[in-house]
Structure 1
Amino acid sequence: MNELRTLHRDELADSFALSEFAFQYELKEEDRNEQIGRTDENQVWGYFADGKLAAKLQLIPLHIWVNGRRFAMGGIGGVATWPEYRRGGMVARLLGQSLKTMRDRGQTVSLLSPFKFEFYRKYGWEAFVDQLHYEIPVDKLPKFEAAEGSTVRRAAKDGKLLNAIYAEYAKQFNGMIDRDEAWWTTNTLRKKGTAAIYANPQGEPRGYVYYHVSNRVATLHELVFLDEEARRGLWKFIADHDSMIAKVEVKAPVDDQLPFLTQDPRFKQERVPYFSARIVDVEAFLKQYAFAVDAEAEPIQLQVTDKHADWNQGTYRLEFTASGEPAAVTKLGEGEVQEDGMLSCTIQTLAALLMGYQRAGFMARIGRLQGSQEQVNRLEAAIPQRTPYLTDFF
C-alpha cells in the first residue's frame, strides 16, 4: 500500500537518514538531534511504500522580496528518494502535492536549489538567479580609501543588529529572503565567522561584512552595503587583512561592478546559475506584482500554460493602475478571450520574466513567448528591471 502524507515526529529520524544518504554527509548525533528538534514534521511530506519512507521533501515557509514587495514563498528542500524506489514517479507526486499545499497556504511563489535544472523544469520551476563568484588575490584587492570619520568595527553575531542593514539591502533585489530572527540564528549565522559593521561619518550603520579567515583565505559569507561609501569602507577593511591572507573569495549579484573598480580586473570571475523559481498561483502573484507602467499603458492579455497546476491554466487580462503598483488582474472566461493581440507562454517562462531573469524580447526571439512584436514590447516595458539575487541557501 502506497501513501503520501506529512511525517509523524517519530519518523523524522528516518527522514534525516535518507538525507544523509542522498546528499552524502554525516551528522554527529547531537547535531542530528538538534535538527530533528527544530524541524516541524507538518512541513515534511513523505511518500511511503508498504509502510516504509521511500521519498520525501520539506516545505519551508518564508517570504521574499520581488520589486520591493514582500511575497509569501514556499521553499522546497531535502528532496530525496532511496535508490531502490527511484524513477517511480514518487518525487513528481510529492511536488504536485507541494504545489497544492503552498497554494492553500497563500504562498504564491516557490524557490528551490536544483540538483539538475532540467529535472525541475519539467514541473514548472525555472532558473531565476545567477551569482558572480570572485577569487581575488591579495595584490589585486581594490585599493579604496575610507571616508574620513567613518568606522568599521567588529560586532556580535546578532541577527537583530545586522538585519537593520540587510533588510534595506535585500529589498533592492528580486528573490532575497526577508529574514526573521529564527532564520538568522538557525541558517545565516550558523556559519563560522566574524561580523564587522561599517558606520558612515555621521555614525549611521550602512554596511557589514560577515567573513571567515582560514588557511590564508578570507571567505566573505556576506558583503552588504547600502551606498558606494560603505562599499569602499568595507573593502578597505578587508584589504587591511593583507598580512594574513593570500586571497579573498566572495559572491556578488550579476550586475556587480567591482572588477571595473579595481586597478587590475584580471582575477577569477565565474557566473554560476544558483536557484530556480516557480509561480505557484498566477492570479494571486500577479495581483501582488508591482509593474513599471502607469494607467495610460495599454492592457495586456496573457495566456499561461501549466501542466502541473491546472488552476494556473488560462488567460489573464492586466489593466495597469500606477507605476510601481499592481495591475487589476482578471482571469478571463472562454467567451471573454480575444485571440487577436494575445501573448502566450508557459509557467516557466512567466517566472523567468517576472523575476527579472530574462527579458520579454529575448524570450520571444527564442520561441518561448508568443505574440506580436507590439505586445512583446508592451510586456517588456511593464516589467521592472530589477536584478535577481539570493545569498541564502536551503
Structure 2
Amino acid sequence: MLIRQLTKEEFDARKELSEFAFQFQFTPERLQEERERFQPGNYWGVFDEQGRMLSGLNLIPFEIYVQGRVLRMGGLAAVASWPETRRGGNITKLLERTLEAMREQGQTVSMLAPFQFPFYRKYGWEFTIERKRYEIEMALLPKSRESRGSMERVPKEAQELVAIYQAFASRYNGTLHRSEDWWSRKVLRKPGLAAVWRNDSGVPAGYIIYEVQNRLFTVHDWAYADEEARAEIWRFIANHDSMAERVSITVPADDALGFLLPDPRFKQELVPYFMSRVVDVEGFIEQYPFHPAEKEEGLTLDISDSYAPWNNRRFRIIFRADGAARVQQSAQSADRESGERLGNEELPAASCDIRALTAMLLGNRRPQWLRQAGLIQGDREALELLESRIPVRTSYLADFF
C-alpha cells in the first residue's frame, strides 16, 4: 500500500471513483472545467502494488475567520473508497497522512461536511457548525417600514459584495475568507439576481443573491454589515409579495428573526452542518485571539489525540494580558504532581480530548458546559480561566465544499 498525492495523469481514475461513490456524473462542460482546473497536489490517494487507486480524498487549501482573524484551513472533501477495498484501514491511514500534510502546510484547523457524524468523530473531528433554515409565508413579513436608504439591483460581479461579506463573515467562526476564484466559481454562478442596499450616506451595507420561481423566493447568498442592513434586506424580500408566497433562506444559528416578527410561528429547522478539527494544537492556540485580562495567566492542558501524535501531550499555555497566548514546553507526563508553575504560582490544570478542545475553541461550546457534560476535567481555577479567556462567538458557514 502506498499513500501519496496524485499525478496529473490520474485525473480520470479520481473522477471514476468520485462518480461511483457519490452517484453522479459530470456534464461534458463540467468535466472539461474540472480537468483544466485539476491540481494534483490537492488530491491524495491510497494505491496498491499495481498502482491502482483504492481510496482518495481532496485536501483543499482554504482560509477561515476565527475570532475575527484569518487562519489557514485544510478542507477535506470527496473522501471515498471502492467498495471491495472498504473496511481495510485505507481511510484511517489516509486521514492520518493528510493530518500530517495539513500540519506541514500550516493548516492548523480542518473542516469537512460529514456523510456520517460518528464516522469522523472517531478521527477527532467534531460537530461545530449548525445553521437555521427558514421557510416563511410572505404574509408574515412586515411591509410598512419606511427606508432611510435604497436597494439597487447590481451585477453579481459587483465588488461591493466582497467588502460586505467580509464584514459579515468576520463576526463568526468558521466562515470562509472567500478567494477571488471562490467568488467566481461558487458564489457568482448562483442563479438569479443580486441587489445591494446602501444606507442614507450611500455606503453599501448589505446584499442578497436571490431568485423567484414557482411562487417561491429563494435566497442563495446574503450578508449584512449591521442590523439596519439586515432589516432592509427583509423589507426588500417582503416587497415581492405579489410574486411569491413563501421565502426559503438559510441563516446563522443565532439569527433572531422569530423574535422580531409579529408572529414567530413559521417553519424553522436547526440543521447540523459541518465538522471541524484542531490539527495542530500548539500552532492554533498561538494564533487564536483570546480575551485580554489584567495580568498574565496560565494553565496546563492535557490533550488526548489518537490520530495526531504531536497533539497527544501536555501543553503549558500562557495567556498574556493582551489576549495573545504562547505554548511552552512541558513534561510529557500527565502526572500533575510535578507542579507546573507560572513564576511562583502553581498552574491550574485541565484535560480533554481533541474533539472537546475543538468544540470549545471553534464550536462555541463553553468550558463549564463541557465540564457538566463530562467532556473536560480540571481544577475549578482552570475551567474559570478558560471560561473567561475564550470569547463567545457563534460558528457559521454559508458555503459548501
| TM band (smaller chain) | over 0.9
**Pair 1:366-2:365 in alignment:** no
How far off is 1:155 after superposition? 1.1
**Which residue identity lines up with residue 370 of structure 1 in the other structure?**
Q
Q: Secondary structure at the match of 1:190?
A: coil
Per the alignment, residue 205 of structure 1 pairs with 204
How far off is 1:336 after superposition? 10
Per the alignment, residue 241 of structure 1 pairs with 240
Q: Secondary structure at the match of 2:221?
A: strand
Q: Which stretches in structure 1 are left out of the alignment for 5+ residues?
A: none
How far off is 1:297 after superposition? 5.6
Between 8-17 and 65-74, report the one with greater CA deviation: 8-17
Between 313-322 and 229-238, report the one with greater CA deviation: 313-322
**Pair 1:24-2:32 in alignment:** no
Q: Give the Cα–Cα distance (whole angstroms) in 2 for the partners of residues 160 and 329 of structure 1.
A: 40
Per the alignment, residue 123 of structure 1 pairs with 123
How far off is 1:266 after superposition? 0.4
**Pair 1:319-2:326 in alignment:** no
**Pair 1:350-2:357 in alignment:** yes
**Which residue identity lines up with residue 330 of structure 1 in the other structure?**
Q
- Residue by residue, what CA displacement relative to the aligned partner does 1:160-211 show, whole Å, maximum 9, x if unpaired? 3311111111110000111111010112222212111010011000010111
Per the alignment, residue 180 of structure 1 pairs with 179
Contact 1:129/1:357 (<8 A) preserved: no
Between 255-264 and 48-57, report the one with greater CA deviation: 48-57
Q: Give the Cα–Cα distance (whole angstroms) in 2 for the partners of residues 364 and 135 of structure 1.
A: 36
- Residue by residue, what CA displacement relative to the aligned partner does 1:312-333 show, whole Å, maximum 9, x if unpaired? 111112222234x321221312
Per the alignment, residue 300 of structure 1 pairs with 299
Change in 2 beyond 3 A, CA 1:152/1:15: same
Change in 2 beyond 3 A, CA 1:158/1:346: same
Per the alignment, residue 251 of structure 2 pairs with 252
Per the alignment, residue 15 of structure 1 pairs with 14
**Which residue identity lines up with residue 326 of structure 2 in the other structure?**
A
Per the alignment, residue 342 of structure 2 pairs with none
**Pair 1:380-2:379 in alignment:** no
Per the alignment, residue 113 of structure 1 pairs with 113
Per the alignment, residue 62 of structure 1 pairs with 62
Contact 1:144/1:235 (<8 A) preserved: no
Contact 1:217/1:246 (<8 A) preserved: yes
Per the alignment, residue 74 of structure 1 pairs with 74
Q: Give the Cα–Cα distance (whole angstroms) in 2 for the partners of residues 271 and 52 of structure 1.
A: 42
- Residue by residue, what CA displacement relative to the aligned partner does 1:67-115 show, whole Å, maximum 9, x if unpaired? 1111111101111111111111111111111101110011100000011
Q: Secondary structure at the match of 1:207?
A: strand
Contact 1:63/1:72 (<8 A) preserved: yes
Moved over 3 A (4+): 334-341
Contact 2:127/2:363 (<8 A) preserved: no
Trace 1:70-109 onto structure 2 (pairs within 5 A). Answer: 70-109=70-109
Aligned identity (percent) is: 43
Q: Give the Cα–Cα distance (whole angstroms) in 2 for the partners of residues 372 and 151 of structure 1.
A: 55
How far off is 1:298 after superposition? 3.4
Between 225-234 and 342-351, report the one with greater CA deviation: 225-234
Q: Give the Cα–Cα distance (whole angstroms) in 1 for the partners of residues 319 and 294 of structure 2.
A: 5
Question: Root-mean-square deviation (CA), in Å?
Answer: 1.6
Q: Give the Cα–Cα distance (whole angstroms) in 2 for the partners of residues 45 and 95 of structure 1.
A: 10
- Residue by residue, what CA displacement relative to the aligned partner does 1:229-260 show, whole Å, maximum 9, x if unpaired? 11121111111111111211111111111111
Name the count of aligned residue pairs: 391
How far off is 1:301 after superposition? 1.4
Change in 2 beyond 3 A, CA 1:310/1:146: farther
Contact 1:159/1:184 (<8 A) preserved: no
**Which residue identity lines up with residue 69 of structure 1 in the other structure?**
R
Contact 2:296/2:321 (<8 A) preserved: no
- Residue by residue, what CA displacement relative to the aligned partner does 1:299-321 show, whole Å, maximum 9, x if unpaired? 12111111101111111122222
Per the alignment, residue 333 of structure 1 pairs with 331
How far off is 1:126 after superposition? 0.4
Per the alignment, residue 263 of structure 1 pairs with 262
Per the alignment, residue 145 of structure 1 pairs with 145
Q: Give the Cα–Cα distance (whole angstroms) in 1 for the partners of residues 272 and 144 of structure 2.
A: 30
Q: Which stretches in structure 2 are left out of the alignment for 5+ residues?
A: 340-347
Q: TM-score, normalised by structure 1?
A: 0.95
**Which residue identity lines up with residue 348 of structure 1 in the other structure?**
R
Q: Secondary structure at the match of 1:332?
A: coil
Trace 1:267-286 onto structure 2 (pairs within 5 A). Answer: 267-286=266-285
Change in 2 beyond 3 A, CA 1:58/1:144: farther
Q: TM-score, normalised by structure 2?
A: 0.94
Contact 1:68/1:172 (<8 A) preserved: yes
Q: Give the Cα–Cα distance (whole angstroms) in 1 for the partners of residues 294 and 311 of structure 2.
A: 25
Change in 2 beyond 3 A, CA 1:142/1:128: farther
Q: Give the Cα–Cα distance (whole angstroms) in 2 for the partners of residues 293 and 243 of structure 1.
A: 51
Between 67-76 and 81-90, report the one with greater CA deviation: 81-90
